[in-house]
Structure 1
Amino acid sequence: MILNGSSRPHAFTASLVQSFTSGAESQGHEVTVIELRKLNIHACLGCLQGGKNTVKPCIQSDDMDIIYDTYRKSDVIVFATPLFFWSYSGLLKNAMDRLWALAECHPDELHGNHKSGALLVAAGGSHPEPLLTHFDYLMTRLDWTNIGKVVLTHTDNMDMKHIAHNAAAFQLGASIR
């Protein structure tokens, strides 16, 4: 499952997602890309009332149910985002925050569970370190296998009309076992 947190459908984050998907599919994996910009996902309320209904773990009713369903079927969760203020986009952060309802299920469906995670980042500049550090910490705290990160830097200086295939993202997708 790839959570694409970009607001732009044909930009650098999308190119990373396409390259990663091609790599994963080249090894026979099925990939579901969720375009968060197309979904209605409310911000987390921080109510700690999730998990009471395991079919619908969050008390809010919105498109997050699509993500919960796909998450449960997925072995690898990929977070794809443009770099916003040295962090995840708001679209992606909202979805990530709402995943917490899965931790409130009995048993906990968020931590461990043989999941793996990857990060794809398109950065206009050259300073993604805070996001990369957070992602590594997130993988540790979730007890997921960190399969890697791909960062495309200096996208502000690139031609968005001619975005090249990203070999590193392809290789990361192809490396999934």
Structure 2
Amino acid sequence: MEKEYVDDVTEVESLTDEEHAALEDAGLDPDGVVEKRFSYRTLLDEGVDESVAAALRRQFSLPWSYESDGDLDRRSNEVRGLADSERKWIAVSGDDDWQSFDYETEDIDVVPRKKPDERPYPKPTPVTAVTGVGPDDAEKLAEAGIVSADRLATINAFEVADALELDVIHVRTWRHNARELLS
């Protein structure tokens, strides 16, 4: 991408030769893109290649379209990975009263989510399980964000001792004991 620099601190992005030619072929003023007079949908409707239009949309933060009637419904059908209920919700949210919750919800399928019986991973071993680390020491370590034996086992003893104003020998001993506990 070519950039054009101005004397003041403002940096102006310019179009590549390919983008410039694609816009002129479609009969569009290239300055209109830089000034955001065109939307992504306008570029496509005028015959600009989809990949060029998408690149211009991202580069110049162009709006998807200047239409509001039916635009959300159309875009919800174009977005991949949405469930039917999500598409319906997006379509419903297209009017000005979408936050009022006064719309019909009977058409929207709510899929209940089952909460797992157990955590998918084990709870971390508390730092107080490490030999030599008492409740007061645990509070001090928590100031540095060290609340589990796993975290204590991977710390840099010198940095933690310096940050918490502790004896480095104590911190190294705790780190060693945490490693022993976890192995």
Q: Normalising to structure 2: TM-score of the pair? A: 0.21
Larger radius of gyration: 2
Bigger share in strand: 1
TM (normalized to structure 1)?
A: 0.22
